[in-house]
Structure 1
């Protein structure tokens, strides 16, 4: 199956996606939600080949994603607010 290139909000980036940051593609090893000092939500993307990147949850990023469906799971912000996320099942 072909990979799909699309633009999504940073909060929807999944493990295994390729994201375009400053003109280069990077594999996402993980993501987590955090807070700015001012209280706004931020996504921290852990990348395979560089240090983690922090960005606002609403920022639009270009991703290459395998279109295979992923199972939804629940995660929580540090203060306990539930957020819908998706996980990749490991073989």
Structure 2
């Protein structure tokens, strides 16, 4: 059975938001954890706003460059418990370990 691009895109966004919430909260961390390319990780974080998931970058205190992490400030209409309850299906759909 073929999985639509819409579904995989939606699941990817949910999964990245979930990872950020769980502490895998940087682009390199997401890349390492999932194996996704840098650009995909960056674009996915940027696109969380389209689902009304408010994600912001938190710069480390005293850092002169863009050292820091992302944080989910508001999940909007998304039920994060549903993501946790369906994590194995999400990962399987995305072909992530």
Greater strand proportion: 1
Greater helix proportion: 2
TM-score (ref. length: structure 1): 0.29
